[in-house]
A and B are shown apart, each in its own frame.
Chain A
Amino acid sequence: MLLAAVLAILIAMALAVARAVKGPTTFDRMLAGNTVGTLAILFLAALGFLNGRPEWLDIGLVYALLNVISTLAVLKFFRHGDLALGPDDDGAS
């Protein structure tokens, strides 16, 4: 059953990558990239169980943190064209 989960994650990853290649706007690509990141975390966890090495979960935790920071950074960059935002513009839409 673990193998089936790994397979399902791989299929979903392939579909998400297809959306990232096809996606008409930048935001579609970013959404697909974030989904691939989430699936990679699940993949690490499943693979760790499959190999009997649950220590890989630590890598998954770090990867989750990196994933959220990178997505937010890219979003902020596309929104403001800049990563540093002054105190006077609060970014309200």
Chain B
Amino acid sequence: MRMIVLGILLLCFWLALSGHYTAFLIGCGIAVSSFAVLASKRMKIDDDEAVPIAVIAGIPRYYSWLFWEIAKSAWNVARIIVHPKLPISPCMTVVDASQKSATGIATYANSITLTPGTVTAGVKGKRLTVYALTQEGALNVEAGLMDQRVRRFEGRT
């Protein structure tokens, strides 16, 4: 199942990037993508971490929420930058991720880094060290709304 999804995704990638649809080139695409799938099977990287097919169903909902979150925090950070006094109150904090899988923790850490104003500066097991530009940002991360969202996102199997 996972191999088939990976192969189809790779073939779509090939077709999208090539832009020429002759029989020879499509045949090349099929050959190359099946070769890549076999190679990844041989390298044993075809596990749940590399091809997380369980999260595909939750992508649209979580990503739209994440984009809105990025927009809001980008607006806040931009306001801080153009403010003549530069009102930052930098803060470092730790949070515990409540996700079960490595994919979930990675998604959570990357989402924290992706929103302007906060950056994950270290991961040790499930404990994330977070740098926040303002105190409110740190408190928001500690409140754990994003944590819940990511848990729901990865829990949909």
Direct A–B contact in complex, judged by CB atoms less than 8 Å apart: yes
CB B70 to nearest CB in A, in angstroms, measures 16
User: Which residues on the A side are within 8 Å of B124 (C-beta)?
Assistant: 92
B4-33 vs A, Cβ < 8 Å mask (1 yes, 0 no): 000000000000010000000000000000
Main secondary structure of the interface of B (DSSP, over half): strand
User: Which residues on the A side are within 8 Å of B122 (C-beta)?
Assistant: 93
A30-53 vs B, Cβ < 8 Å mask (1 yes, 0 no): 000000000000000000000000
User: Which residues on the A side are within 8 Å of B17 (C-beta)?
Assistant: 58
Taking CB as reference atom, which chain B residue is nearest A55?
Answer: B19
User: Which residues on the B side are within 8 Å of A93 (C-beta)?
Assistant: 122
Chain B interface residue bracket vs A? under 10
Chain A interface residue bracket vs B? under 10
C-alpha gap A58/B124 in the complex (Å): 38
- Within 34-72 of B, Cβ neighbours of A (below 8 Å) are at none
Taking CB as reference atom, which chain B residue is nearest A61?
Answer: B17
C-alpha gap A92/B125 in the complex (Å): 11
- Within 101-157 of B, Cβ neighbours of A (below 8 Å) are at 122, 124
Taking CB as reference atom, which chain A residue is nearest B129?
Answer: A93
A52-93 vs B, Cβ < 8 Å mask (1 yes, 0 no): 000000100000000000000000000000000000000011
User: Which residues on the B side are within 8 Å of A58 (C-beta)?
Assistant: 17
Taking CB as reference atom, which chain A residue is nearest B122?
Answer: A93
User: Which residues on the B side are within 8 Å of A92 (C-beta)?
Assistant: 124
C-alpha gap A68/B124 in the complex (Å): 23
CB A45 to nearest CB in B, in angstroms, measures 15
CB B90 to nearest CB in A, in angstroms, measures 16
C-alpha gap A8/B47 in the complex (Å): 43
CB A79 to nearest CB in B, in angstroms, measures 13
C-alpha gap A92/B17 in the complex (Å): 37
C-alpha gap A59/B65 in the complex (Å): 31
C-alpha gap A93/B121 in the complex (Å): 10
C-alpha gap A58/B17 in the complex (Å): 8
Can you list 3 residue pairs at the A/B interface with Cβ under 8 Å? A58-B17, A92-B124, A93-B122
CB-based closest 3 A-B pairs: A93-B122, A92-B124, A58-B17
